[in-house]
Structure 1
Amino acid sequence: MAQRRKRLLSVESILDAALACVDDSGRLTMADLAARLGASASSIYHHLPGRAAIIEALRERLGDEIGPPPMDGSDWDAQIRQWMRSYRQAMAEHPNLIPLLTEQTMTAGTVLRGYEQIVTLLTQVGAPAADIALWISVLDSYALGSALDLAAPDEVWHADPDTLPALAEAISMAPRGRPRADKAFELGLNALLAGMRDQLGGSSAASVS
């Protein structure tokens, strides 16, 4: 009887399988990952040291998709706007991954270098040093929440017009599905960036590179 050939593993094949596990079930265990790969857990450890390292490598992969702010000399808020759009889109493709990413300390170099450029932008427009990490948290929260909203069902709310007439009318006037999520994201992003400009002393549209 011919022996079954063992599947050759690589970091990329492990990450592909890990992302598929998360997309399918919203969780990642080494046992589930090994079963999907048709390999032993010990063979996975030859390539990546454990679950936390796999999650961080997935963060790195998404960071490559998002990319850093353009740093192209355009207005600082335009650069942040472009980065936020990319951030939301990349995360929205894998919403089940978001809770796993937020449960552990971030070490992915690509992602941290993107934040380094955000720090540079905010420093150049006069943000107090003590507030910059807080602004990064605000941007993170908005992008991740908007990514989850993009994965929401077409009918986000169901309101009985007899008992909730104002809400029912508001819902009826709004678009559904992706158009609603996109319009809500842009509306909120405009408000967020306007608030940042106000907090930074009205330093709008300062060109930085």
Structure 2
Amino acid sequence: MPRPRSPLLSVDAIVRAALFLVDSTGDFSTPKVAKELGVSQAALYNHIDNREHIIELMRGLVFSERQHLDTESLPWDEALRTLAHEYRDCLVDHPRLVPLLVAQTVRDLGVMRIYEDMATVLAKAGLAPSAIVPAITTLDYLVLGSALELTAPEVVWSPPQGLFPMLSEAIADLGSPAERSNTAFSFGLETLLAGIRQVTKTGF
């Protein structure tokens, strides 16, 4: 069979090319995606609408392997801990995508199910409806921030010698960005769970 004269395009190919550019450079554009795929920019618009459409498709792609969690079979804190780790695991290979994701409305149904699971678990924990969105947002801060930490430099703070002694001692052995991110995420998550337990006793 003769090869096609032009590369075969698909939504998946476009999204994966855009994600490759984001992972490599921190951003993408339709001209760069077209160049990556060896097609004209106009050809992309037979498959996608605009930049925002591509970003939302990238969101769906990176979360596509996440499995729905049976929250009914687990204690609420174990379920929320598992959800948080699954959520973060979807982003750790694509931390440069995070700034693009947070800048637009979530529409992907698969990602929406994660938030539905979070809301279900938080209601099971005993949070009032008015506290569920603040709790989800706090968890978002934790997950997204820890993913962004993976793009940080090896040295985050560089205090002058002899000044800021407490900070200097605290940062003496922080490890790599990945180690810092993992440690801070675990600390923050357990702190959040403890806070939720307290709120369910005292109210919000």
Q: Is the 8 A contact 2:23 2:97 kept in 1?
A: yes
Q: CA deviation at 1:195?
A: 0.6
Q: Is the contact made by 2:88 and 2:143 (CA closer than 8 Å) also made in structure 1?
A: yes
Task: Give the whole-Å Cα distance in 2 for the aligned partners of 1:192 and 1:106.
Answer: 23
1:150 positional shift: 2.9
Q: CA deviation at 1:31?
A: 1.4
Residue deviations 1:77-126 (CA, integer Å, cap 9, x gap): 11111121122232121122111111111100000012112111122232
1:128-150 CA-partner distances (Å, limit 9, x unpaired): 11222222111111100011113
Change (3 A) 1:130 1:113: same
Alignment of 1:123-202 (within 5 A): 123-201=123-201
Aligned Cα root-mean-square deviation (Å): 2.2
Residue identity matched to 2:63: G
Distance, in Å, in 2 between the alignment partners of 1:13 and 1:62 is 14
TM-score normalized with structure 2 length:
0.88
Which position in structure 2 is the counterpart of 1:31? 31
Which structure is higher in RCO with an 8 Å CA cutoff and minimum separation 6?
1
Change (3 A) 1:16 1:176: closer
Within 5 A, what are the aligned runs for 1:48-63?
Answer: 48-63=48-63
Q: Percent identity?
A: 36
**Residues in 1 aligned to 2:88 and 2:98: alpha-carbon distance in whole angstroms:** 11
**Native 8 Å contact 1:146 1:185 kept in 2:** yes
* Structure 1 unaligned regions, length at least 5: 204-209
Unaligned stretches of 5+ in structure 2?
A: none
Of 40-49 and 190-199, more deviation after overlay is shown by 40-49
